[in-house]
Amino acid sequence: SQQGEEDPQALSIQEGENATMNCSYKTSINNLQWYRQNSGRGLVHLILIRSNEREKHSGRLRVTLDTSKKSSSLLITASRAADTASYFCATDKRGGGSQGNLIFGKGTKLSVKP
């Protein structure tokens, strides 16, 4: 079964609005990562949050992590049409290593309308 599950599966908003995507996972982790994928392209790493961190910011991105609930959220503020993409959370599989062997969720498809 998937380690990470994103919610919602699809999200449609207007430019300028905020977009929030959620991720739940099942087992202990060292870190949780968020990736972005434009249609038909490879994934691009956005942000990594460690298990001992609760919140992290990068530009218009804000990620939170609640290890007690085994969940994370990605907030994109003041969204732009260029933010239209699929967003994936990923966790390390066994919670013991950080060599890049990740399990990905199925993603949230974000559509930002101009």
Partner 1 sequence: DVKVTQSSRYLVKRTGEKVFLECVQDMDHENMFWYRQDPGLGLRLIYFSYDVKMKEKGDIPEGYSVSREKKERFSLILESASTNQTSMYLCASSPGVTGELFFGEGSRLTVL
Q: What are the distances in angstroms from CA 81 to CA 6, 16, 90, 113?
A: 21, 9, 24, 6
User: How far does Cα 41 stand from its chain's mean position?
Assistant: 17
Query: Is residue 1 part of the contact set for partner 1 (CB under 8 A)?
Result: no
Query: Is residue 31 part of the contact set for partner 1 (CB under 8 A)?
Result: yes
Residues with Cβ within 8 Å of 20's Cβ and at least 6 positions away in sequence, in order, are 73, 74, 75, 76
Find the part of the chain contacting partner 1 (CB under 8 A) among 19-27, 37-45, 52-60, 61-69.
37-45
Find the part of the chain contacting partner 1 (CB under 8 A) among 15-23, 56-64, 72-80, 90-98.
90-98
Q: How many CB atoms lie within 10 A of CB 28?
A: 13
Query: Is residue 100 part of the contact set for partner 1 (CB under 8 A)?
Result: yes
Find the part of the chain contacting partner 1 (CB under 8 A) among 15-23, 44-52, 60-68, 72-80.
44-52
Q: Beta strand pairing status for 108-113 and 10-14? A: parallel
Query: Is residue 51 part of the contact set for partner 1 (CB under 8 A)?
Result: no
The contact set with partner 1 (CB under 8 A) reads 2, 30-31, 33, 35, 40-45, 48, 88, 90, 92, 98-107
